[in-house]
Amino acid sequence: MAIEKATFGAGCFWGVEARFAEMPGVIDTAVGYEGGDLEHPTYKEVCADRTGHAEVVDVTFDPSRLSFDTLLDAFFSLHDPTQVNRQGPDWGSQYRSVIYTHSDEQVQVARAKIAEFNAAGAYRMPIATKVEPATTFWRAEEYHQRYLEKRGMVHCHI
């Protein structure tokens, strides 16, 4: 079985992880931090909005069962991609909308999806989501992994 990675920042990572984890074809999810300057950042440091990291969900998936394009559809449905550094009540660059790509194909598919949504006027404003090459994914502290599931919750504010 071939597996691929996809990494998405869509605001607070708890609810986003829960939604991705329930998709058929997703093998594993992990929440963490990406795109910043500090090595081994902590939640407290990232939440202070001084490390440059985004809260992200790293998704391991089986591309024979689930396409990257389908993951993108889920990603865009889980947050407001027109917001800059904000989702719902959360604000700061750690909550930015971003797709960290793991291949040239992912770059092309992500940019095409954004262009498609913008051309169709799918949102009231242009999509602000950044498409950037994946860097180092720093896994968040264990108490953040499957946070909602551990607490018997199905969703948060997303």
| Residue-range domain boundaries for the chain | 4-150
Convert the pLDDT of each residue in 58-71 to its tens digit: 999 999 999 999 99
pLDDT at 154: 54
Rounded to 5°, the CA angle 135-33-25 comes to: 80
* pLDDT above 50: residue 158: no
* pLDDT above 70: residue 48: yes
Convert the pLDDT of each residue in 71-103 to its tens digit: 999 999 999 999 998 887 788 898 999 999 999
Bridge partners (DSSP) of residue 34 are: 54
What is the architecture, at CATH level 2, of domain 4-150?
Answer: 2-Layer Sandwich (3.30)
Where do we find the tokens 């950044």? 130
Catalytic residue check, 12: yes
* pLDDT above 60: residue 148: no
Q: What distances in angstroms separate CA 87 from CA 78, 82, 90, 92, one per listed residue?
A: 10, 10, 5, 9
Marked catalytic residue, from 10, 12, 16, 140: 12
Percent of the chain past pLDDT 90, that is, above it, reads 73
Convert the pLDDT of each residue in 102-135 to its tens digit: 999 999 999 999 999 999 999 999 999 999 999 9
**H-helix or E-strand containing 107?**
helix 104-120
Q: What distances in angstroms separate CA 59 from CA 22, 120, 128, 158, one per listed residue?
A: 11, 28, 21, 18
Q: Considering only CA atoms, give the Rg of the chain.
A: 15
Q: Which of 140, 137, 130, 148 is nearest to 45 (CA)?
A: 140
Q: What distances in angstroms separate CA 137 from CA 31, 63, 153, one per listed residue?
A: 9, 21, 26
User: Which residues are within 8 A (CB) of 128 and not within 5 positions of it... i.e. 6 or more apart?
Assistant: 81, 82, 83, 84, 97
